[in-house]
Amino acid sequence: MMALALIVIAMQVGDLILTYLVIKAGGREVNPFMLKLQRFLPGKWTWLYLPKVAFIGAVWWAAYRYPEQMATVFYILIAFYAWVLVNNYRAWRAQKANL
* pLDDT at res. 94: 93
Rounded to whole angstroms, what are the CA distances from 34 to 1, 4, 47, 55, 89?
Answer: 28, 25, 7, 13, 18
How far, in Å, CA of 19 to CA of 15, rounded?
Answer: 6
How far, in Å, CA of 47 to CA of 39, rounded?
Answer: 8
25 DSSP 8-state letter: T
pLDDT tens sequence for the chain (99 residues)? 899 999 999 999 999 999 999 999 999 999 999 999 999 999 889 999 999 999 999 999 999 999 989 999 999 999 999 999 999 999 999 998 986
Alpha helices (H) along the chain: 2-24, 32-40, 46-65, 67-98
The answer, as to whether pTM is greater than 0.85, is yes
